[in-house]
Amino acid sequence: MTIYLDNHSTTRIDPRVLDAMMPWLTEDYGNAGSVTHELGRRAREAVDHARSQMALAIGAEPREVIFTSGATESINLAIIGSAMRPGRANGHLMVGTTDHQAVLDVADHLGRNGRQVTYVDVAPQGTACPGAIDPQMFSDLLQSDTFLVSLLLANNEIGVIHPTAVIANVVCKSGAIVHLDCSQAIGRMPVDVDALGADLASFSGHKFHGPKGVGALYVRRRSKAVRIEPLQYGGGQERGLRSGTLNVAAIVGMGAAAELAVQELAEEVPRVEALRNWLWEHLNNSIEGVSLNGPPLTNSSLRLINNLNVSVSGVDGGSLLATVEASGLAISSGSACASASPRPSHVLRAIGLNDDAARSSLRFGLSRFTTKEDCEKAVERIVDGIKKIRS
Protein backbone atom coordinates (compact mmCIF):
# COMPACT_ATOMS: atom_id res chain seq x y z
CA MET A 1 0.00 0.00 0.00
CA THR A 2 1.24 3.49 -0.87
CA ILE A 3 2.39 5.69 1.99
CA TYR A 4 1.03 9.14 1.23
CA LEU A 5 3.01 12.10 2.58
CA ASP A 6 2.10 14.71 -0.03
CA ASN A 7 -0.69 16.42 1.87
CA HIS A 8 0.29 19.92 0.76
CA SER A 9 -0.74 18.89 -2.76
CA THR A 10 -4.04 17.35 -1.75
CA THR A 11 -5.54 15.38 1.10
CA ARG A 12 -7.54 12.20 1.30
CA ILE A 13 -11.24 12.93 1.62
CA ASP A 14 -12.43 12.09 5.11
CA PRO A 15 -15.00 9.23 5.05
CA ARG A 16 -17.30 11.36 7.22
CA VAL A 17 -17.17 14.09 4.59
CA LEU A 18 -17.98 11.62 1.85
CA ASP A 19 -20.94 10.36 3.88
CA ALA A 20 -22.24 13.92 4.18
CA MET A 21 -21.93 14.43 0.43
CA MET A 22 -23.53 11.24 -0.85
CA PRO A 23 -27.22 12.18 -0.44
CA TRP A 24 -26.61 15.28 -2.59
CA LEU A 25 -25.18 13.10 -5.36
CA THR A 26 -28.11 10.68 -5.31
CA GLU A 27 -31.62 11.34 -4.03
CA ASP A 28 -31.25 15.03 -3.07
CA TYR A 29 -30.29 16.31 -6.52
CA GLY A 30 -32.17 19.62 -6.52
CA ASN A 31 -30.77 22.93 -7.76
CA ALA A 32 -30.16 25.35 -4.88
CA GLY A 33 -31.48 28.12 -7.10
CA SER A 34 -34.85 26.43 -7.64
CA VAL A 35 -36.64 27.22 -4.41
CA THR A 36 -40.16 26.76 -5.78
CA HIS A 37 -40.10 23.08 -4.79
CA GLU A 38 -38.88 20.91 -1.92
CA LEU A 39 -35.81 19.45 -3.65
CA GLY A 40 -34.51 22.91 -4.46
CA ARG A 41 -35.27 24.28 -1.00
CA ARG A 42 -33.43 21.38 0.65
CA ALA A 43 -30.44 22.05 -1.56
CA ARG A 44 -30.49 25.74 -0.63
CA GLU A 45 -30.70 24.86 3.07
CA ALA A 46 -27.73 22.50 2.69
CA VAL A 47 -25.67 25.24 1.03
CA ASP A 48 -26.64 27.71 3.74
CA HIS A 49 -25.61 25.22 6.43
CA ALA A 50 -22.25 24.63 4.73
CA ARG A 51 -21.75 28.38 4.46
CA SER A 52 -22.32 28.69 8.20
CA GLN A 53 -19.88 25.83 8.88
CA MET A 54 -17.21 27.49 6.75
CA ALA A 55 -17.84 30.88 8.32
CA LEU A 56 -17.53 29.46 11.83
CA ALA A 57 -14.24 27.78 10.90
CA ILE A 58 -12.65 31.08 9.86
CA GLY A 59 -14.31 33.53 12.26
CA ALA A 60 -16.52 35.14 9.62
CA GLU A 61 -20.21 35.74 9.08
CA PRO A 62 -22.02 33.41 6.65
CA ARG A 63 -22.81 36.27 4.26
CA GLU A 64 -19.07 36.89 3.91
CA VAL A 65 -18.40 33.42 2.42
CA ILE A 66 -18.56 33.05 -1.37
CA PHE A 67 -18.26 29.52 -2.77
CA THR A 68 -16.04 28.97 -5.82
CA SER A 69 -14.47 26.06 -7.68
CA GLY A 70 -11.25 26.23 -5.65
CA ALA A 71 -8.50 28.47 -4.32
CA THR A 72 -7.23 29.38 -7.79
CA GLU A 73 -10.61 30.83 -8.74
CA SER A 74 -10.89 32.54 -5.36
CA ILE A 75 -7.46 34.12 -5.83
CA ASN A 76 -8.35 35.32 -9.33
CA LEU A 77 -11.66 36.74 -8.13
CA ALA A 78 -10.02 38.49 -5.18
CA ILE A 79 -7.07 40.06 -6.98
CA ILE A 80 -8.42 40.68 -10.48
CA GLY A 81 -11.82 41.59 -9.06
CA SER A 82 -10.11 44.24 -6.91
CA ALA A 83 -8.01 45.50 -9.81
CA MET A 84 -11.12 45.98 -11.99
CA ARG A 85 -12.68 48.49 -9.60
CA PRO A 86 -12.95 52.04 -10.96
CA GLY A 87 -9.77 54.09 -10.71
CA ARG A 88 -7.39 51.13 -10.52
CA ALA A 89 -6.45 50.71 -14.18
CA ASN A 90 -2.90 51.85 -13.41
CA GLY A 91 -2.87 51.03 -9.70
CA HIS A 92 -0.22 49.31 -7.62
CA LEU A 93 -0.32 45.91 -5.91
CA MET A 94 2.17 43.90 -3.88
CA VAL A 95 2.78 40.15 -3.67
CA GLY A 96 5.51 37.97 -2.15
CA THR A 97 8.22 36.27 -4.20
CA THR A 98 7.35 32.94 -2.55
CA ASP A 99 3.60 33.15 -3.12
CA HIS A 100 1.79 30.30 -4.83
CA GLN A 101 1.96 30.31 -8.61
CA ALA A 102 -1.75 31.14 -8.77
CA VAL A 103 -1.02 34.50 -7.15
CA LEU A 104 2.18 35.14 -9.08
CA ASP A 105 0.57 34.40 -12.44
CA VAL A 106 -2.35 36.72 -11.66
CA ALA A 107 0.10 39.45 -10.66
CA ASP A 108 2.09 38.92 -13.86
CA HIS A 109 -1.12 39.16 -15.89
CA LEU A 110 -2.08 42.43 -14.23
CA GLY A 111 1.44 43.75 -14.70
CA ARG A 112 1.18 43.11 -18.43
CA ASN A 113 -2.09 44.99 -18.47
CA GLY A 114 -1.18 48.31 -16.95
CA ARG A 115 -0.90 47.72 -13.20
CA GLN A 116 2.30 48.19 -11.25
CA VAL A 117 3.44 45.10 -9.34
CA THR A 118 5.99 44.95 -6.53
CA TYR A 119 7.39 41.53 -5.58
CA VAL A 120 8.43 41.53 -1.93
CA ASP A 121 11.51 39.50 -0.98
CA VAL A 122 11.69 37.11 1.98
CA ALA A 123 14.32 36.30 4.58
CA PRO A 124 17.04 33.95 3.27
CA GLN A 125 18.12 30.57 4.57
CA GLY A 126 20.42 31.02 7.55
CA THR A 127 18.33 33.72 9.22
CA ALA A 128 16.05 33.24 12.22
CA CYS A 129 13.00 32.56 10.05
CA PRO A 130 13.86 31.71 6.44
CA GLY A 131 11.07 32.57 4.03
CA ALA A 132 9.41 35.12 6.31
CA ILE A 133 8.47 38.60 5.15
CA ASP A 134 9.60 41.62 7.16
CA PRO A 135 6.56 43.84 7.84
CA GLN A 136 8.76 46.91 7.58
CA MET A 137 9.32 46.13 3.90
CA PHE A 138 5.64 46.65 3.22
CA SER A 139 5.69 49.97 5.01
CA ASP A 140 8.65 51.04 2.88
CA LEU A 141 7.19 49.80 -0.42
CA LEU A 142 3.61 51.04 -0.10
CA GLN A 143 2.64 53.71 -2.62
CA SER A 144 -0.15 56.25 -2.65
CA ASP A 145 -1.93 54.21 -5.35
CA THR A 146 -1.46 50.78 -3.74
CA PHE A 147 -4.89 49.14 -3.79
CA LEU A 148 -4.07 45.59 -2.69
CA VAL A 149 -1.46 43.52 -0.88
CA SER A 150 -1.64 39.73 -1.28
CA LEU A 151 -0.01 37.54 1.34
CA LEU A 152 0.44 33.79 1.62
CA LEU A 153 -0.59 32.96 5.18
CA ALA A 154 1.32 29.67 5.23
CA ASN A 155 3.71 28.56 2.51
CA ASN A 156 2.93 25.32 0.70
CA GLU A 157 6.58 24.31 0.27
CA ILE A 158 8.53 25.33 3.37
CA GLY A 159 5.60 25.90 5.74
CA VAL A 160 6.58 29.39 6.87
CA ILE A 161 3.75 31.31 8.54
CA HIS A 162 3.82 35.02 7.76
CA PRO A 163 3.01 37.72 10.36
CA THR A 164 -0.06 38.79 8.43
CA ALA A 165 -1.72 40.65 11.30
CA VAL A 166 1.28 42.95 11.71
CA ILE A 167 1.55 43.52 7.97
CA ALA A 168 -2.19 44.12 7.64
CA ASN A 169 -2.04 46.77 10.35
CA VAL A 170 0.55 48.63 8.29
CA VAL A 171 -1.34 48.17 5.03
CA CYS A 172 -4.80 49.18 6.27
CA LYS A 173 -3.52 52.59 7.36
CA SER A 174 -2.73 53.30 3.71
CA GLY A 175 -6.25 52.45 2.57
CA ALA A 176 -5.17 49.35 0.64
CA ILE A 177 -6.90 46.01 1.18
CA VAL A 178 -5.29 42.72 2.22
CA HIS A 179 -5.86 39.39 0.48
CA LEU A 180 -4.66 36.24 2.24
CA ASP A 181 -4.09 32.92 0.51
CA CYS A 182 -5.14 30.59 3.32
CA SER A 183 -5.15 27.39 1.27
CA GLN A 184 -2.73 25.52 3.55
CA ALA A 185 -3.99 26.75 6.90
CA ILE A 186 -7.29 25.13 7.89
CA GLY A 187 -6.77 22.06 10.05
CA ARG A 188 -3.12 22.96 10.67
CA MET A 189 -3.44 26.21 12.63
CA PRO A 190 -6.22 28.42 14.01
CA VAL A 191 -7.73 30.65 11.33
CA ASP A 192 -9.55 33.85 12.29
CA VAL A 193 -9.84 36.29 9.42
CA ASP A 194 -10.26 39.27 11.75
CA ALA A 195 -7.23 38.40 13.87
CA LEU A 196 -5.19 37.76 10.72
CA GLY A 197 -6.15 41.13 9.26
CA ALA A 198 -7.82 39.80 6.10
CA ASP A 199 -10.16 41.78 3.89
CA LEU A 200 -10.24 38.93 1.37
CA ALA A 201 -9.14 35.33 1.97
CA SER A 202 -8.98 32.28 -0.30
CA PHE A 203 -9.58 28.66 0.72
CA SER A 204 -9.52 25.24 -0.94
CA GLY A 205 -11.66 22.31 0.20
CA HIS A 206 -9.32 19.52 -0.85
CA LYS A 207 -6.48 20.85 1.32
CA PHE A 208 -8.30 19.88 4.53
CA HIS A 209 -9.85 16.50 3.69
CA GLY A 210 -12.73 17.86 1.65
CA PRO A 211 -13.52 17.26 -2.02
CA LYS A 212 -11.66 18.71 -4.99
CA GLY A 213 -13.31 21.31 -7.18
CA VAL A 214 -14.67 23.53 -4.44
CA GLY A 215 -13.25 26.54 -2.64
CA ALA A 216 -14.32 29.71 -0.91
CA LEU A 217 -13.53 33.39 -0.89
CA TYR A 218 -14.03 35.43 2.27
CA VAL A 219 -15.13 38.98 1.44
CA ARG A 220 -15.26 41.35 4.38
CA ARG A 221 -18.66 42.96 4.87
CA ARG A 222 -18.20 44.37 8.38
CA SER A 223 -16.61 47.73 9.24
CA LYS A 224 -14.55 48.40 6.10
CA ALA A 225 -16.70 46.81 3.40
CA VAL A 226 -14.64 45.47 0.51
CA ARG A 227 -15.83 45.81 -3.07
CA ILE A 228 -14.70 43.57 -5.92
CA GLU A 229 -15.96 43.06 -9.46
CA PRO A 230 -17.22 39.66 -10.65
CA LEU A 231 -15.24 37.80 -13.31
CA GLN A 232 -18.19 35.88 -14.73
CA TYR A 233 -21.82 36.73 -15.27
CA GLY A 234 -25.00 34.72 -15.48
CA GLY A 235 -27.50 33.82 -12.81
CA GLY A 236 -26.15 36.16 -10.14
CA GLN A 237 -25.42 33.41 -7.63
CA GLU A 238 -23.19 34.06 -4.61
CA ARG A 239 -24.32 37.67 -4.22
CA GLY A 240 -23.55 38.34 -7.87
CA LEU A 241 -19.84 37.62 -7.45
CA ARG A 242 -19.78 34.08 -8.80
CA SER A 243 -22.56 33.20 -11.20
CA GLY A 244 -23.25 29.56 -11.99
CA THR A 245 -25.23 26.64 -10.61
CA LEU A 246 -23.88 25.71 -7.19
CA ASN A 247 -22.13 22.36 -6.73
CA VAL A 248 -24.23 21.37 -3.74
CA ALA A 249 -22.48 18.07 -2.93
CA ALA A 250 -19.01 19.62 -3.03
CA ILE A 251 -20.11 22.62 -0.98
CA VAL A 252 -21.67 20.32 1.62
CA GLY A 253 -18.39 18.39 1.69
CA MET A 254 -16.32 21.52 2.18
CA GLY A 255 -18.54 22.65 5.04
CA ALA A 256 -18.34 19.27 6.74
CA ALA A 257 -14.56 19.16 6.29
CA ALA A 258 -14.15 22.65 7.76
CA GLU A 259 -16.24 21.73 10.79
CA LEU A 260 -14.21 18.55 11.39
CA ALA A 261 -10.94 20.44 11.00
CA VAL A 262 -11.91 22.88 13.74
CA GLN A 263 -13.29 20.17 16.03
CA GLU A 264 -10.13 18.06 15.81
CA LEU A 265 -7.52 20.82 15.67
CA ALA A 266 -6.53 20.74 19.35
CA GLU A 267 -6.01 16.98 19.25
CA GLU A 268 -4.35 16.71 15.85
CA VAL A 269 -1.86 19.59 16.06
CA PRO A 270 0.38 18.06 18.77
CA ARG A 271 0.09 14.56 17.30
CA VAL A 272 1.01 15.59 13.75
CA GLU A 273 3.73 17.96 14.95
CA ALA A 274 5.33 15.16 16.98
CA LEU A 275 5.30 12.86 13.95
CA ARG A 276 6.82 15.58 11.76
CA ASN A 277 9.60 16.18 14.30
CA TRP A 278 10.24 12.43 14.59
CA LEU A 279 10.50 12.21 10.80
CA TRP A 280 13.08 15.00 10.64
CA GLU A 281 15.10 13.60 13.54
CA HIS A 282 15.39 10.19 11.93
CA LEU A 283 16.12 11.52 8.44
CA ASN A 284 18.79 13.78 9.91
CA ASN A 285 20.37 10.91 11.84
CA SER A 286 20.21 8.45 8.95
CA ILE A 287 21.26 10.48 5.90
CA GLU A 288 24.60 12.16 5.35
CA GLY A 289 24.32 15.64 3.89
CA VAL A 290 20.66 16.29 4.67
CA SER A 291 19.64 19.85 5.60
CA LEU A 292 16.40 21.51 6.70
CA ASN A 293 14.86 24.14 4.43
CA GLY A 294 12.74 26.89 5.93
CA PRO A 295 12.00 27.95 9.51
CA PRO A 296 13.01 25.92 12.58
CA LEU A 297 10.69 23.15 13.71
CA THR A 298 10.74 24.30 17.32
CA ASN A 299 8.18 27.10 16.97
CA SER A 300 4.72 26.29 15.58
CA SER A 301 3.97 29.99 15.22
CA LEU A 302 6.65 30.17 12.52
CA ARG A 303 6.01 26.96 10.60
CA LEU A 304 3.08 24.68 9.77
CA ILE A 305 3.09 21.67 12.08
CA ASN A 306 2.71 19.16 9.24
CA ASN A 307 5.43 20.52 6.95
CA LEU A 308 8.96 19.27 6.36
CA ASN A 309 11.25 20.28 3.50
CA VAL A 310 14.81 18.98 3.21
CA SER A 311 17.65 18.95 0.70
CA VAL A 312 19.99 15.99 0.29
CA SER A 313 23.46 16.97 -0.88
CA GLY A 314 24.61 15.28 -4.07
CA VAL A 315 21.27 13.61 -4.77
CA ASP A 316 18.95 14.67 -7.58
CA GLY A 317 15.47 15.07 -6.15
CA GLY A 318 13.78 13.80 -9.29
CA SER A 319 15.81 10.59 -9.30
CA LEU A 320 15.10 10.04 -5.61
CA LEU A 321 11.37 10.67 -6.06
CA ALA A 322 11.25 8.08 -8.85
CA THR A 323 13.13 5.58 -6.70
CA VAL A 324 10.94 5.98 -3.62
CA GLU A 325 7.77 6.02 -5.70
CA ALA A 326 8.69 2.58 -6.98
CA SER A 327 8.86 1.48 -3.33
CA GLY A 328 5.37 2.85 -2.62
CA LEU A 329 6.10 6.26 -1.10
CA ALA A 330 4.31 9.39 -2.36
CA ILE A 331 6.16 12.64 -1.62
CA SER A 332 7.12 15.60 -3.78
CA SER A 333 9.89 18.06 -4.45
CA GLY A 334 7.71 21.17 -4.36
CA SER A 335 4.33 22.58 -5.34
CA ALA A 336 2.06 20.18 -7.21
CA CYS A 337 1.21 23.03 -9.59
CA ALA A 338 4.87 23.26 -10.65
CA SER A 339 6.05 19.66 -10.19
CA ALA A 340 6.13 19.03 -13.94
CA SER A 341 8.48 21.97 -14.48
CA PRO A 342 12.21 21.27 -14.92
CA ARG A 343 13.01 24.52 -13.13
CA PRO A 344 14.01 24.43 -9.45
CA SER A 345 11.47 25.60 -6.89
CA HIS A 346 10.97 29.37 -6.97
CA VAL A 347 10.40 29.26 -3.21
CA LEU A 348 13.73 27.61 -2.46
CA ARG A 349 15.53 29.91 -4.89
CA ALA A 350 13.91 32.89 -3.17
CA ILE A 351 15.39 31.88 0.20
CA GLY A 352 18.84 31.64 -1.37
CA LEU A 353 19.34 27.98 -2.26
CA ASN A 354 21.32 27.33 -5.41
CA ASP A 355 19.84 25.26 -8.23
CA ASP A 356 21.48 22.02 -7.11
CA ALA A 357 20.23 22.33 -3.52
CA ALA A 358 16.76 23.30 -4.72
CA ARG A 359 16.61 20.35 -7.11
CA SER A 360 17.69 17.96 -4.35
CA SER A 361 14.76 18.95 -2.14
CA LEU A 362 12.03 16.70 -0.77
CA ARG A 363 8.75 18.02 0.62
CA PHE A 364 6.69 16.10 3.17
CA GLY A 365 3.14 16.97 4.18
CA LEU A 366 1.51 15.00 7.00
CA SER A 367 -2.19 14.75 7.82
CA ARG A 368 -4.72 13.38 10.30
CA PHE A 369 -4.37 10.02 8.54
CA THR A 370 -0.57 9.85 8.88
CA THR A 371 0.67 7.24 11.37
CA LYS A 372 3.95 6.52 13.13
CA GLU A 373 4.29 3.41 10.99
CA ASP A 374 3.97 5.56 7.86
CA CYS A 375 6.86 7.73 9.01
CA GLU A 376 9.01 4.74 9.94
CA LYS A 377 8.50 3.15 6.53
CA ALA A 378 9.10 6.47 4.79
CA VAL A 379 12.50 6.85 6.45
CA GLU A 380 13.45 3.29 5.50
CA ARG A 381 12.48 3.77 1.86
CA ILE A 382 14.19 7.14 1.52
CA VAL A 383 17.40 5.88 3.11
CA ASP A 384 17.36 2.82 0.83
CA GLY A 385 16.70 5.02 -2.19
CA ILE A 386 19.60 7.34 -1.40
CA LYS A 387 21.93 4.37 -0.94
CA LYS A 388 20.97 3.08 -4.39
CA ILE A 389 21.59 6.47 -6.00
CA ARG A 390 24.90 7.05 -4.22
CA SER A 391 26.25 3.54 -4.75
Contact at 8 Å (CB) between 306 and 365? yes
Contact at 8 Å (CB) between 310 and 333? no
Return the bridge partners of 339, or none. Answer: none
Looking only at the bridges linking them, the beta strands covering 146-152 and 116-120 are: unpaired
- What residues act catalytically? 337
Region for 185 from its dihedrals, namely left if φ exceeds 0, alpha if ψ lies in -120 to 50, beta otherwise: alpha
**What gap in Å lies between CA 98 and CA 158, rounded to an integer?**
10
Task: Please report the sign of the dihedral spanned by the C-alpha atoms of residue 334, residue 337, residue 340, residue 342.
Answer: negative
Residue in 148, 152, 120 with CA at minimum distance from that of residue 136: 120
Contact at 8 Å (CB) between 238 and 226? no
Looking only at the bridges linking them, the beta strands covering 3-4 and 290-292 are: unpaired
Contact at 8 Å (CB) between 230 and 266? no
